[in-house]
Structure 1
Amino acid sequence: MTPPQGAMMAWVVKLGGSLWAAPELRAWLDLLAAQRAVRVVVVPGGGPFADAVRDAQPRLGFGDRAAHRMALLAMEQYGTALADLEPRLTPARTRDGLLTAPGPAVWLPLPLADTADVAESWDVTSDSLAVWLAGALGAACAVLVKSAPLPDAPSPVSRMVADGIVDPALPGRLARYSGTVWCVSRADHRRFAQALAQGTPTGTRLLPETSTADV
């Protein structure tokens, strides 16, 4: 899909659940909420709410389909918290709502994510959902904010999966996305703010498995 004609270029920025207790969270919320050079859509991770689902599944014995939907609800909870912490972020559930919000938006994934062609398993996290959403919105790029150490150079997505930085479903999702996908360290918020203002992504670019291009 492509954005409406004349629409501002969009970036999808995923704030990982690991940031919920990080001191940099407020700085990220502030810089994203203040952004006007591009249209920012924030994708929340699951944070401690998704961890609760992971812990409960083996004890209660519910299946992966239920766990997937409960993890989406966890993202809704985290997103609701982020919007409360930063009132300049507009919560939105629909594609039109995300693309026409008066400023930066935070995605509440139900019910839009119900239409996503992703597996209902723990191999799919908010990483793959962020890239799916970027494709659905016609966004120029998806940025995954991470707490883990990142390589300095562009990296094959399979390496990032092997290192436990992104989810196992991301290689397939990246292959179907026409934009670029980047990982950014949570500590690089100042450098990212400059890049965002210039409309040029920064960080570690993820390379599709078939990519041999120099970047």
Structure 2
Amino acid sequence: MNGPWIVKLGGSLWNGDTLRPWLSHLAAERARRIVIVPGGGPFADTVRHAQPVLGYGARAAHRMAILGMEQYGLALLDLEPGLVPARTVADMEAAPGAAVWLPALLAAEADVEESWDVTSDTLAAWLAERLGADRLVLVKSVPLPTETADALALSRIGVIDPVLPNRMGRLSAEVRCVGCDDLPLFATDLRGGTPAGTLLLSAERLADTEPEAAWSGTFSS
């Protein structure tokens, strides 16, 4: 066991039936170090919807959306007491089990643009880079292609944020999207089985990939 796995739980899972099973399984995991990155969920949506009414700028909206992630993270910790809160890298390294990143403090250091193009996807990638993670897993509630996919194509149809594809070039971690209904496959993956979900390829990796191996189509999400 080397670097941790960063598991971003999409905000869209907040009102579905799959969130609690994911939390329960991750809390019980001991074979790998896990750091959970919470999406913004309804908390970040509130920031987005209020911005044109109140008129606050991009910097304020960015910081408020991060606080939305923190709120979602606090909710996850309450729903699953087996998870551990983590605000700093030291907290994550010392956590006896799966940790939930509460990002308000550490995300202030992230070298990302302050706009709605940056979501918890890119912040999860930033954290994966910071921690030297082995795997970045983005748990999504939309249909996903099988095997491999062009990250840029996925960003164009809203599966991942538009900043993540370029950010991936800085990562040593493998990046995968996993469907929220695919927890059994992910659990097998954690135990060294077949990798779960869709492998995302950056522009650099696509250049070294056979054309037929890289999905670049579209589908309805």
TM-score range, shorter chain: over 0.9
Report the Cα offset of residue 111 of structure 1. Answer: 0.9
Output one character per residue of 1:73-118: Cα deviation in whole Å (capped at 9) or x when no partner. 0000000000010011101100111111011100000210100110
- Counterpart of 1:213 in structure 2: which amino acid? T
Cα distance, 1:140 vs structure 2: 0.3
In structure 1, what is the Cα distance between the partners aligned to 2:139 and 2:183?
9
Query: Match for 2:63: what amino acid?
Result: R
* Aligned residue identity for 1:33: A
Contact 1:38–1:199 (CA under 8 A) maintained in structure 2: no
Per the TM alignment, residue 172 of structure 1 is displaced from its structure 2 partner at its CA by 1.5
Q: Is residue 105 from structure 1 mapped to residue 99 from structure 2 by the alignment?
A: yes
Aligned to 1:183: 177
Identify the residue that residue 159 of structure 2 maps to in structure 1.
165
Match of 1:130 among 114, 124, 130: 124
Q: 1:58 aligns with which of 40, 48, 52?
A: 52
Deviations 1:32-81 (A, max 9, x none): 11111110000000000001001000000000100000000000000000
Identity %: 57
CA contact (8 A) 1:99 1:137 kept: no
What is the rounded CA distance, in whole Å, between the counterparts of 1:158 and 1:143 in structure 2?
17
2:200 corresponds in structure 1 to 206
Aligned to 2:217: none
* 1:48 alignment counterpart: 42
Tell me how far apart the structure 1 counterparts of residues 32 and 195 of structure 2 sit (CA, whole Å): 11
| 1:196 CA drift (Å) | 1.2
Distance in 2 between residues matched to 1:89 and 1:201, nearest whole Å? 24
The letter of the residue matching 1:22 is G
Shift of 1:199: 7.1
Aligned match of 1:27: 21
In structure 1, the residue matched to 2:218 is none
| Structure 1 consecutive aligned stretches of length 4 or more whose deviation exceeds 6 Å | none
CA distance in 2, matches of 1:145, 1:26: 13
Write the letter of the residue equivalent to 1:12: I
CA RMSD of aligned residues (A): 1.3
Mapped partners of 2:3, 2:124: distance in 1? 16
Question: Which structure 2 segments of 5+ residues have no match?
Answer: 214-221
Counterpart AA for 1:153: E
Q: What amino acid maps onto 2:169 in structure 1?
A: A
The 8 Å contact of residues 121 and 161 in structure 2, kept in 1 or not, is answered as: yes
Choose between structure 1 and 2 for higher RCO, CA contacts under 8 A separated by at least 6 residues: 1
Residues 76, 196 of structure 1: CA spacing in aligned structure 2 closer, same or farther, 3 A cutoff?
A: same
Amino acid at match of 1:163: I
Please report the TM-score for the alignment, with normalisation by the length of structure 2: 0.91
Once residues 163 and 10 of structure 2 are traced to their aligned partners in structure 1, the CA distance between those partners, rounded to angstroms, is: 16
Which amino acid is 1:62 matched to?
Y
Q: How does the TM-score come out when normalised to structure 1? A: 0.94
